Amino acid sequence: MRLAVIPGDGIGPEVVSEALKVLGEVAPTAEITNYDLGAARWHSTGELLPESVLGELRQHDAILLGAVGDPTVPSGILERGLLLRLRFELDHHVNLRPARLYPGVRGPLADAGDVDMIVVREGTEGPYAGNGGLLRKDTEHEIATEVSVNTAFGVRRVVADAFNRAEERPRKHLTLVHKTNVMEHAGSLWSRIVEEVSLEHPDVTVAYSHVDAATIHLVTDPSRFDVIVTDNLFGDIITDLAAAVTGGIGLAASGNLDITRRNPSMFEPVHGSAPDIAGQGLADPTAAVLSVSLLMDHLGHKEAARRIEASVAFDLATRDQASPGATQAIGDRLAALVSSNTVRTAG
């Protein structure tokens, strides 16, 4: 396995090094190459993602990314020039974001119930397409536009993926989240494609929720969701909320997948670079470790993936929630659990 690692900014390097400890336990022969993309490189060379680096990244089986973003860089530069550029160039159309409330974890809800959902967020179009502009800038007649671009091709491939995932889950339930009553055109395309693809999956039950209502359900009745499929922006919003509900972004993992496997998929914690706590051993590496589980799963190493997730689940059930330990201590614990292989894996 050839793995490219982009530790990135802030707490990125800290959590990535714990994630690599755990990876070492399940894939000791993995070849790892580090790429120093992020704020420091931009400051010293002005580069965000040189073509040559992009070319090298393409030669790997997968990418592990820590976090991107730094207060010394104007907002949006690293996000669009590095993170989103990677997702778009590598055609990461399925942005996979599981949200599970693990036993022992206390989220902000008084009574969350049994939360175990995955969000399949479209990753390469929608309002993230970068289509838009400014007219008459800095005058009283200025106009700014942002165009959400949705293609049958782009929508169908994520909807198909979401149905495939729903099919493999016990509840076989899929919810389309959109805002069809207002976003008439995009809403129509998404609705029609969900209907079409559902014909190939008669055993998957299908529901629809407006995005505003979905945020209500996520805090009043999150266990109703099994698989959610949604566009890039709605997915961004509801996965942060789903992460909060299931114990915080410190635990939320994600995969940016090219389902066709033409390009390496990229795995990253949902959290950002958290510059305020960087370098102090305060960051929880659990989300990064769970991202390694998604990575192993995507590459076909299902048993290793399950072992990592089960170790995390065990640690979460037994750790002191108020003070789970320093970044390294948590990483050591998780690596030891994975290595000892004593944790029973379910399923």
Binding site for its own copies (CB under 8 A): 75-76, 79-80, 84, 106, 108-111, 127-128, 130, 132-134, 136, 138-153, 179-189, 192, 211-213, 215-216, 219-220, 233, 236-241, 243-245, 248-249
Q: Is 169 flagged in the annotation as binding?
A: no
102 among known catalytic residues:
no
164 binds, among its own copies, ligand IPM, none (CB under 5 to 8 A by kind): none
182 lies in the site for ligand IPM, by CB under 6 A? yes
- Which member of 128, 258, 297, 315 is catalytic? 128
Question: At 247, is the secondary structure helix, strand, or coil?
Answer: coil
Stretch 44-103 residues interacting with ligand IPM (CB under 6 A): 79, 83-84
2 is in an annotated binding site: no
- Closest approach, Cβ 240 to ligand IPM, in A, equals 7
CB 98 within 8 A of CB 255: no
Q: Pick from 76, 176, 190, 73: which is nearest to 130 by CA?
A: 76
- The residue with tokens 């609705």 is 191
Query: Which member of 172, 208, 221, 240 is catalytic?
Result: 240
- Report the DSSP beta bridge partners of residue 176: 208, 229
Exposure string for 101-139, b = 16+ CB within 10 A, e = fewer? bbeebebebeebeebbbbbbbbbbbbbbbeeeeeeeeee
- Starting from the edge strand earliest in sequence, which strands make up the sheet with 173-178, in order? 31-34, 2-8, 62-67, 265-269, 253-257, 94-100, 116-122, 227-230, 173-178, 205-210
Q: Which of 179, 333 has the CB closer to its own copies?
A: 179
Nearer to ligand IPM, 41 or 271 (CB): 271
Contact with ligand IPM (CB under 6 A) among 44, 139, 181, 323: 181
179 is catalytic: yes
What is the C-alpha separation between 169 and 117, in angstroms, rounded?
Answer: 10
Whole-angstrom Cα distance, residue 217 to residue 164?
Answer: 24
114 is in an annotated binding site: no
In this chain, which of 146, 212, 276, 303 binds ligand IPM, going by CB under 6 A?
A: 212
Residue 180 binding target from ligand IPM, its own copies, none, CB below 5 to 8 Å by type? its own copies
Q: Do the Cβ atoms of 31 and 1 come closer than 8 Å?
A: yes
Q: Is 52 annotated as a binding residue?
A: no
Min dist CB 248 to ligand IPM, Å, is 14
Catalytic residue annotation: 128, 179, 212, 236, 240
Q: By the criterion CB under 6 A, which residues form the site for ligand IPM?
A: 79, 83-84, 181-182, 212, 236
